[in-house]
Structure 1
């Protein structure tokens, strides 16, 4: 059996949560395509360009995309790339705003996007239900 791969996007402000979700998904048998969290602190354009390429490759090679909401500007761009590539997207809504018309984006409501609000271990089960 081939292991499905995921890419996870979110804000640096939520790095611990992102790593916790990643570990749970990895423990469930999935593989993370790229761990951008290990590249915190890049300060020059060459490093940033290298990171951008690695992130793009991570998104293009993943089987599904995880978005920890709210995210930063980079994670929203990554969400857009995943959408353009027709990747299944799973949003962990940490602030319960995806279904609030004043706090959401129309793109979060597309058919290929599944949204979850709740505990992270329940989120893992939510993803498993769709990806196994």
Structure 2
């Protein structure tokens, strides 16, 4: 049975989110919600609708992928995953994630798996870990 995943990141990373999504789908994982199909919310009702969809998508996921740099929404999704004991793959394009001036306490909890490298390495590590 395919595992469910959700990807959290910022709009500035939309192309990378789509790339990682496509690579995981090719490997038979199921994407719980594709926020990249949304445009920026124009009003509070849209924000609420999107927020509910994203919250549910995180809760349905077997694992969450967070692509840094990420904004406040992604970090809230990170918190939802932590609270629900969902495995988190935290991708950083560089070693700043280990720098005390840039890192977060929550990045270093047991169910958070930090991956630094290329996007291809990220996908491969997820695939190998989720077999």
1:49-88 equivalence runs, <5 A: 49-88=48-87
Deviation at 1:41, TM superposition (A): 2.2
Q: 1:71 aligns to what SS in structure 2?
A: coil
Counterpart CA distance in 2 for 1:50 and 1:77 is 16
Q: Matched residue of 1:98: which SS?
A: helix
Q: Counterparts of 1:96 and 1:11 in 2: how far apart (Å)?
A: 19
Distance in structure 2 (CA, Å) of the matches to 1:42 and 1:103: 29
Partner in structure 2 of residue 112 of structure 1 = 111
Aligned to 1:7: 6
TM-score in terms of structure 2 length? 0.96
Task: Report whether the alignment pairs 1:102 with 2:109.
Answer: no
Q: Unpaired segments of 5 or more residues in structure 2?
A: none
Question: How much does 1:96 deviate?
Answer: 2.6
Instruction: Could you list the structure 1 runs, at least 4 aligned residues long, displaced by more than 3 angstroms after superposition.
Output: none
Alignment length (residue pairs): 131
Q: CA deviation at 1:119?
A: 1.1
SS in 2 for 1:107: helix
Q: What is the CA-CA distance between 1:100 and the residue it aligns to?
A: 1.1
Residue 69 of structure 1, CA deviation: 1.1
1:131 aligns with 2:130: yes
